[in-house]
């Protein structure tokens, strides 16, 4: 029987060949070694992640405590500064109120004097008109 590409071949000859699995050269040891190295690397990375997750909250807590202490110091400083400013503002307000009261008293006194002088002026004008 002629073959597909021009030769006489029996299809039984194609299946008659025996295939055997032979041990290769040095490459047969590379694959398991590579797998072992990969496993060790993955295990080390997993251990690193576990340790980092266990100790990360502790370091974060200490960082937050330090930040809290710094903010408290700033708050105390700001409170002291604002208390000083408030005291100064109260003193200034009291001084302004005292000055205003004094000025109002002086204004009343001057108004009274002006009224007296106006009455005297009116009196003298009346007196001058009545004299021939």
Residue 30 confidence (pLDDT): 80
Give residue for tokens 């070694």.
Answer: 33
Averaged pLDDT, groups of 10, the chain, 132 residues long = 55 63 64 89 92 79 92 97 97 97 96 94 86 66
Residue 25 confidence (pLDDT): 57
Residue 37 confidence (pLDDT): 92
pTM (2 decimals)?
Answer: 0.44
Residue 128 confidence (pLDDT): 83
Domain boundaries, the chain: 25-111
Residue 14 confidence (pLDDT): 60
């Amino acid at each position: 029987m002629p073959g597909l590409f021009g030769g006489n071949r029996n299809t039984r000859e194609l299946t008659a060949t025996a295939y055997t699995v032979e041990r290769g050269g040095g490459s047969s040891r590379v694959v398991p070694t590579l797998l072992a190295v990969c496993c060790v690397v993955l295990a080390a990375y997993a251990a690193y992640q576990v340790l980092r997750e266990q100790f990360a909250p502790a370091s974060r807590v200490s960082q937050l405590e330090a930040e809290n202490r710094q903010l408290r110091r700033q708050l105390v400083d700001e409170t002291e500064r604002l208390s000083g400013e408030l005291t100064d503002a109260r003193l200034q307000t009291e001084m302004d109120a005292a000055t205003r009261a004094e000025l109002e008293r002086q204004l009343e006194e001057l108004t009274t004097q002006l009224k007296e002088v106006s009455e005297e002026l009116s009196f003298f004008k009346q007196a001058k008109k009545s004299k021939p």
